[in-house]
Amino acid sequence: MKRRDKADRIGEILDELYPEPPVPLDHVDPFTLLVSVMLSAQTTDKKVNEVTPALFSEAPDPQGMAALPVERILAHIRTVGLAPTKAKNLQRMAQLLLDRHDGEVPSDMDALEALPGVGHKTASVVMCQAFDQPAFPVDTHIHRLAARWGLSTGKNVTKTETDLKTLFPEDTWIRRHLQVIYFGREHCPARGHDLSACPICSWAATKKRIAEESRRR
C-alpha cells in the first residue's frame, strides 16, 4: 500500500475514534497553554495538570510569572521533570514576553522559538492550539507510531514532521497530531503491544516493525 493511501485510511480510523480530540493540557489562554507545554517535556500531561492550578493562581499572566521568584515557581512545579531548569525558563520567558511582545504570546514560530525553554515542538503546539495555525507537532510518541506504521523513515522528529505534513492534508494537521497521541496512549503502547489486535497496526505495521516487536515479546 502506498504511503498516502495508508495515511488516508489511518486518518479515517482516527476521525472515527477521535472526531474532536481535546487538548490534554488544561489552559485558559495562550500564556497558560505555553507554560503548560513547556512543563510537559519529559513529564505526563496528568502531572502538569496537577501542578498548574496552584502556579496559575499566583502567576496567571506574564506579569505575575516574571515577578514570581524562581524559588517560588520551583516550589509549585517541583514534582515535574527537570523542574529547576523549567522554573528558570518560565520566569525568563515571561520577562521576555513583557520586554519584546508587550506581555502577549506571539503568534509567530520564530518569535516563540526565541523564548527561553521553547523548542520547535512547543512552539508548534502553541501555534496550532492557541492560534489555530496549521502545524503538526511531533513528539517521541508520534515519531514512534509514524515509524511503526511505515509513514516515515525519519531518524529524528524533524524528518518525521516533514513526512507527516506531506502525507496528511493541511486542514487535518491540528486534530491529527492529537488523535495520534490519544491513539498511542489507548491502543498502541511502545512495548508489549499485540500488533495483530490493533485497529491500525494490524494492517499498517511494516514487516521490519513486526519483526522488531516479535523479538521484544
Catalytic residue among 121, 155, 159, 163: 121
Q: Helix, strand or coil for residue 199?
A: coil
| Furthest-apart CA atoms within the chain: distance in Å | 56
Catalytic residue among 102, 139, 165, 207: 139
Q: Is 139 a catalytic residue?
A: yes
Q: Is 121 a catalytic residue?
A: yes
Burial of 126 (0-12, 13-18, 19+ CB in 10 A): buried
Give me the DSSP letters along 30-85. HHHHHHHHHHTTTS-HHHHHHHHHHHHHH-SSHHHHHHS-HHHHHHHHTTSTTHHH
The end-to-end CA distance of the chain, in Å, is 27
**C-alpha cell of residue 14:** 482516527
Catalytic amino acids?
A: 121, 139
